[in-house]
Structure 1
Amino acid sequence: MLQNFDKISFWLGFLAASLFWWIVIRLWRQFPQVKEQLKNRFTNLRARQVAGIDGALRREVLKRAQRNHLASPLFSLDEILVVPRLLAPPPQVDPDNPDPFGSFRPPIIPNLPYVPQFSAQYDGDSLSLVRTIRSGVDLAIIGHPGAGKTTALAYLATLFARKDESLSSIAQHFPIYLHINDIEDATDSNQDAVDILTKALSWHTSASNRPQLSGFIRKTIAAKKAILLLDGLDEIPFDAYQQAVGFLTRLIKTQPKLRIVTTAAIDRAEGLFDLGIEPLPIAGWNRSDITSFTKRWGKLWNTHIAPQTAANNVDSIDDLLIGTWQAAEGDFYTPVELTCRLWGVYSGDLLGMRGVDAISAYFSRLESKGINLQTLASLADRLISMKQSYTTYIEAEKDFSTSGTSYNNFIDERTHKGETQAPMIQIPLETLGLDKKLRIATDEEKSIDKLVEMGILREHPHDRLSFSSPVLWGYAGSLSNYTYDLSSKSPEDDPWSAETEFFHYLMSSTPAEWLKPYLAEDKAPFYWRTTQVALWMRDLTPSSANRSFIMRHLLALTQLESLPYPTRLGLLGAAAMSNDPAQILLMKQLASSPSVPLKQIATLCTGILREPKSITELTTAGTDEQELVRFAACFAIAALETPEAQATLESTINQGDEHMRLAVAEAVALRPPWGHKLLREAAASADILTRRAAIYGLMQIKAPWVAEVVEKIATEDGQFVVRNLAGSALELLQRARNKSRVVLGPPTETPWLITYAAKNGHGIPRNESPIPLLLKVANSGNPDQQIAAVQLLARCQDESAANGIRTALAAADLDLRVAAYHALWFANLTRKNSEQ
């Protein structure tokens, strides 16, 4: 058997087998490492893919956000942005930890949600938009048309697209940036809400990124790294608004961790609070904001626009001169009006001083581009009459085709010198299956495209078109040739910003037959309709019959002592901002009224009018026998910001009685830089009362350097009482720094209420309503407890809670009445079918 045995072959086979099994064993031992390496390579590959789609989508969001503002044909959003802020709710009262410093402002100059422009003139308390979002609050930014809500969302979209470090822990969130008109299937309850969002977003996404979009959005939401920025809830009729809220309800039910920021009208946010979305008004622009915006516009115009027009012999304009003129004039405009106004000034086509004149100049510029304004007006009026928030491209083409408009596109239609135009063969679009933009555009299409390019119209999926702003929409509608009786039309009870703006601009050009019955149906305690039309008076001429009627109606209301002080302040504040020189004389007359609230309001309104000669009347008000009038005078004098006013306040903080020194300290704290300099000097005064007042004023300033100044006083002042006060101030500053909540939580999680219930032998079961307990506290608690209870009742969404707030509105205590006013406003805004 061994005759054929080959030793060499045997040993070679043995060595080969041994080597084979040695290699196998070695590989087997390293298999986990190889497996881990392969896994890591796969994970890294997926991460690079996700990073690629994430970066591409963020760039697309950034591009849209930067052009989503009125002046986008000229400048990017970054170049002219006034950083938006939110009007702060009243300070949260904690009865167990009362504020040792407090503030004179809440009972004197309460933040007015219906008239935030007035609050801005006294630098009313405001919140950082970014900090509010960072705190975890889902938000509805509310405000008047043209106040800057869309710009605020574009600002947030820009920050999220760039992963801005100011966003801190939420910088990695992906912004799902949409307009409500982008969402086609909002009423389809059978379709997944995330799929609906993805479908809407895909229209804004490049074709190369669409295949990955659905998976990316779902993974981002599942990882709690997404935020929905939804614009336009204030721009749609009531039925469409309810459908939008229904869609958000379904979305939140399936994706409760999705962060949401949206917009809403100043008088319509019902249903959002039930979804955990907090409505907060956008703050008005103060004088510093207006000055900054004006300066930047002038610099940008002369840098980028004027050189382009040099060929037309248009010299650059002195932006310093225009800035000085704008500051000296002191008239009041919304952000959209101020934008149109500056555009008109620098273009040389502004023909009047009213806000409506600025809007008119903007539309005249469209006409010079070949747009038929009458056709645009008919389109706007048709949408308003039919209560539609959008039209289609085909319907818009039909509107323009009936106008006989010819529009010249200077790029597409010009004939170059030395060139002849060969006839073009036009093939039906359907035959080629191509986008309409690849063929020769008709005159109608060119008009629509120009309106989109200029920012009048906004494009949406499925050939939808909508007006980009209710202000532009309403003004365009007011230009229409009406074929119906205007006396039968009036703003509807169902609020809709496009319709109200239509009547706003209609009132500026025609007799308003609807005005008398409209105001006759106004309701206490807010008289919202009267406040609304009072704000519109800035677009009426001094001799207008509409203005005269509104003023008579408004003055009759403000004489009612039963009317809440904030309502009266809002009504007269709106009148004072109507850009009528006669308001100075009116406020002077009201300042002599026997009514203390009227004297107080007239003093504050005189302050925002910034007439230097009024220092005499305001100084007299500073010696009034009523303390509240004297306090109001301090704020009004500070608002003048003249050398004489500054000298008056410096004298008072050094020589006045203790309460007047405190009031002056708070008033000048709102007026940097000179006011802050005065407080620093007062902190080093030899007078102990002046140093105490300085600490009080410093506590009203939200700036890092305040803590350093207060700490120095706490350690170096020679008087124990001053050092003790400064120490309390430092402790309060530390608590405020660590405080993250910007809005009230639910009553069942409120420490002071839990403590109150325990002392009275009760608990607050989570499955029972806290309203009976809150009503008891609001009726029989101490002043701080009553205010705190009223603040919580506003968030209970119940008629019995609203009735309790109405009871507090008639209380003797002014602080409680002011708190009840804001609480009832919030309850009415957020509750369904609420009545004032």
Structure 2
Amino acid sequence: MPRLPTSLDQVSFWLGFIAATLFWWLLGRVRPLYLALRDRVLNLIRYIRERNLSGANTYLRKQVIQKAQHWHVASSLFSLDDLLIQPWLLAPPVHPVPGNPPQPETISEQVIPYLPDWPEIPSRLGYPRLTLAEALSAGSVIAVIGQPGSGKTVCLAHLACQVARRETASGILMDYAPLLLHGLDLPIGESEKDLLAPFYRVFSSHAPVYLQGQIKRLITERFREGRALILLDGLDELNRDQKQSIARYLKLILDRYPGNRLAISSAPEWIDGLSDLNAVPLAIVPWSKYEYQEFLQKWSSAWEKFIAPQVARQTSIHDIPNNLLNNWLVSETGFFTPLEWTLKIWGAYSGD
């Protein structure tokens, strides 16, 4: 049996030791450069991809703004920006965290319980409120609840405009793709080979031919990156089977593409079926007396700017001065939803 060598070749040993030391030293010096180079390459690829989709991105945002500006009852007269009153949501109570001191509460929170089904009571007494953008920033699915005419559609449309314009008020949602659509736009009782096909149809059906493929790629990229903002309106206008079908579809979307944001509008009596989405119901805050007056002033200004000149050209009858109409309207007592208040003002100004 051959005997193993009992001594090492010192030259080979030290050459190997020096070579290994140099290798690991060079690797340690090159590794940060490699990581920085890799990040630069990835950023360059991302920049080229965004640049190639810039036309579709611009078109999508303009289309959403144009669509949102008509999502209110008086859209035949004025745009949404002309009459907008900032929508607010009733802030839910903060749950205590074990081991941490409880969060301080306002007097209204200590006296009045959280009543999302009856927001008229806590909203009049200074209960905390938050915007829809702030509610979505936590990552939860938000269900904006309220009775018909309470302003749920305007709440979604306003956020869509903020995100499409990249306003700072939209917070972290600024770089998201706003996807504003109605419940009837989604598949109901039908199978889709591609889960995102309904979004392709809604946002590319009226687009130029050369942009349709880019819009499809843009929507796909945003969902894969977790930067899609779905704003779904009209869920309370559907029957039970339709709502359940839409809820199942949305759950498939969120499961396959996690990290995206979803806000739904619904009535308090119609939020069943949303439990699978882990939706957090937040009531929309009714208007106060000052918001009634602010809306009336905005209507009066818009009427004088857009409608009164047209009426003056078509008839010689002098209109009732706006200040007389406004004084008569503000003297009204009682509670009105935004829809009821809009129709009341509209009727007074049109002479009905």
Superposition TM-score, scaled by structure 1 size? 0.35
1:193 aligns with 2:187: no
Aligned counterpart, 2:253: 251
- Contact 1:302/1:317 (<8 A) preserved: no
Name 1:169's counterpart in structure 2: 172
Say which SS state the counterpart of residue 262 (structure 1) adopts.
Answer: strand
The letter for the 1-side match of 2:116 is P
Instruction: Read off the aligned partner of 1:72 and give its amino acid letter.
Output: S
| Structure-2 change in CA distance of 1:201 and 1:331 (3 Å) | same
Separation (CA, whole Å) in 2 of partners of 1:112 and 1:313: 52
List runs of 5+ in structure 2 lacking aligned partners.
1-41
Q: Deviations over 1:285-307 (max 9, x none)?
A: 11121111111111111122111
Q: Which residue matches 1:696? A: none
Q: Residue 193 of structure 1 aligns to which amino acid in structure 2?
A: L
For residue 72 of structure 1, what is the aligned residue in structure 2? 75
CA distance in 2, matches of 1:116, 1:42: 49
Partner of 1:242: 244
User: Residue 255 of structure 1 aligns to which amino acid in structure 2?
Assistant: Y
Q: 1:119 to 1:220 in 2, by over 3 A?
A: same
- 8 Å CA contact retained: 1:299, 1:319: no
Counterpart secondary structure, 1:337: helix
Indicate yes or no: 2:155 matched with 1:137. no
Cα drift, residue 118 of structure 1: 3.3
Secondary structure of the corresponding residue to residue 119 of structure 1: helix
8 Å contact from structure 2 (residues 120, 285) kept in 1? yes
Assess, with a 3 A threshold, how the Cα gap between structure 1 residues 255 and 115 changes in structure 2: closer, same or farther: same
CA distance in 1, matches of 2:184, 2:232: 10
Which residue number corresponds to residue 233 of structure 1?
235
Q: Is the 8 A contact 2:108 2:125 kept in 1?
A: no
Q: What is the letter of the counterpart of residue 332 of structure 1?
A: F
The aligned counterpart of 1:287 is 289
Provide the C-alpha distance between the structure 2 equivalents of 1:107 and 1:341, rounded to a whole number of angstroms: 36
For 1:215, which of 217, 223, 226 is the aligned residue? 217
* Aligned residue number for residue 61 of structure 1: 64
- After superposition, the Cα gap between the structure-2 partners of 1:317 and 1:302, relative to the gap in structure 1 and judged at 3 Å, is farther
Q: Which residue of 1 aligns with 2:310?
A: 308
Q: Deviations over 1:6-40 (max 9, x none)?
A: xxxxxxxxxxxxxxxxxxxxxxxxxxxxxxxxx99
- Is the contact between residue 149 and residue 282 of structure 1 (CA under 8 Å) also seen in structure 2? yes
What residue in structure 2 maps to residue 553 of structure 1? none
Q: Deviations over 1:67-114 (max 9, x none)?
A: 111111111111101111111223434575555864442464434322
Matched residues in 1 for 2:302 and 2:243: separation?
A: 38
Residues 43 and 120 (structure 1 numbering): CA distance in 2 closer, same or farther, change over 3 Å?
closer
CA distance in 1 between counterparts of 2:305 and 2:286 reads 28
Cα distance in 2 for partners of 1:303, 1:204 equals: 31
Aligned equivalents of 2:265, 2:65: Cα separation in 1: 19
What is the number of residues matched between the two proteins?
A: 311
When residues 291 and 41 of structure 1 are mapped into structure 2, their CA distance, relative to the original with a 3 A threshold, is closer
- Structure 2 match to 1:277: 279
Larger RCO (CA within 8 A; separation ≥ 6):
2
CA-CA distance at 1:44 after TM superposition: 6.1
Aligned equivalent of 2:349:
346
Conservation of the 8 A alpha-carbon contact between 1:119 and 1:284:
no
CA distance in 1, matches of 2:264, 2:292: 25
Contact 1:87 1:282 in 2 (8 A): yes
1:330 aligns with 2:328: no
> Aligned with 1:175: secondary structure?
strand
The equivalent of 1:179 in structure 2 is 182
Letter in 2 for 1:220: R
Q: Distance in 1 between matches of 2:48 and 2:93?
A: 51
Q: AA paired with 1:110?
A: P
* Cα deviation, residue 186, structure 1: 3.7
Give 1 or 2 for the bigger CA radius of gyration: 1
Aligned residue identity for 1:330: T
The AA in structure 1 aligned to 2:194 is D
Deviation (angstroms), 1:206: 4.2
**What letter matches 2:182 in structure 1?**
H
Identical counterparts, % of pairs:
34
- 268, 271, 277: which one aligns with 2:270: 268
Q: CA deviation at 1:53?
A: 1.1
* 1:400-455 CA-partner distances (Å, limit 9, x unpaired): xxxxxxxxxxxxxxxxxxxxxxxxxxxxxxxxxxxxxxxxxxxxxxxxxxxxxxxx
- CA distance 1:122–1:205, change in 2 (3 Å): farther
Q: In structure 1, give the amino acid aligned to 2:196.
A: V
Change in 2 beyond 3 A, CA 1:278/1:336: same
Any idea what SS the aligned residue of 1:69 has? coil
After TM superposition, the structure 1 = structure 2 runs for residues 765-804 of structure 1, keeping only pairs within 5 Å, are: none
Q: How many angstroms apart in 1 are the aligned matches of 2:310 and 2:181? A: 34
Query: What's the C-alpha RMSD, in Å, of the aligned pairs?
Result: 2.6
The alignment partner of 2:330 has SS state of helix
Structure 1's 163 and 156: CA in aligned 2 closer, same or farther, altered over 3 A?
same
Distance 1:111 1:213, change over 3 A: same
Separation in structure 2 between the aligned mates of residue 91 and residue 169 of structure 1, nearest angstrom:
22
Amino acid at match of 2:290: S
- Residues 1:116 and 2:119 are matched in the alignment: yes
Residue in structure 1 matched with residue 8 of structure 2 by the alignment: none
- Tell whether the 8 Å contact from 2:116 to 2:283 is kept in structure 1 after alignment: yes
**Offset at residue 59 of structure 1 (A):** 0.5
Identify the residue that residue 155 of structure 2 maps to in structure 1: 152
Following superposition of structure 1 onto structure 2, how do residues 624-635 of structure 1 map, counting pairs within 5 Å? none
- Which digits, 9 at most, give the CA deviation of each residue in 1:281-340, with x for residues without a partner? 111111121111111111111122111101312435433333333333222111111111
**Distance change in 2, residues 1:102/1:171 (3 Å):** closer
Amino acid at match of 2:295: F
Residues 413-428 of structure 1: matches in 2 within 5 Å? none
Aligned equivalents of 1:241 and 1:306: distance in 2?
A: 43
One-letter code aligned to 1:266: P
Q: Is the 8 A contact 2:60 2:203 kept in 1?
A: no
Q: Which whole-Å CA distance do the structure 1 matches of 2:256 and 2:163 have between them?
A: 23
What is aligned with 2:30? none
Q: Deviations over 1:152-189 (max 9, x none)?
A: 11111111111112223320101112111112x34334
Query: How many angstroms does 1:251 deviate by?
Result: 1.3
Structure 1 residues 187 and 337, CA gap change in structure 2 (3 angstroms):
same
Q: After TM superposition, give the deviation of residue 229 of structure 1 in Å.
A: 1.1
Letter in 2 for 1:70: V
Residue matched to 1:105 = 108
C-alpha distance in 1, partners of 2:285/2:255?
31
**Correspondence 1:401-420 to 2 at 5 A:** none
CA contact (8 A) 2:235 2:265 kept: yes
Q: 1:268 to 1:202 in 2, by over 3 A?
A: same
Q: What are the within-5 Å matches in structure 2 for residues 358-437 of structure 1?
A: none
Q: Tell me the secondary structure at the aligned position of residue 135 of structure 1.
A: coil
Which letter does structure 1 place at the counterpart of 2:52? Q
1:321 corresponds in structure 2 to 324
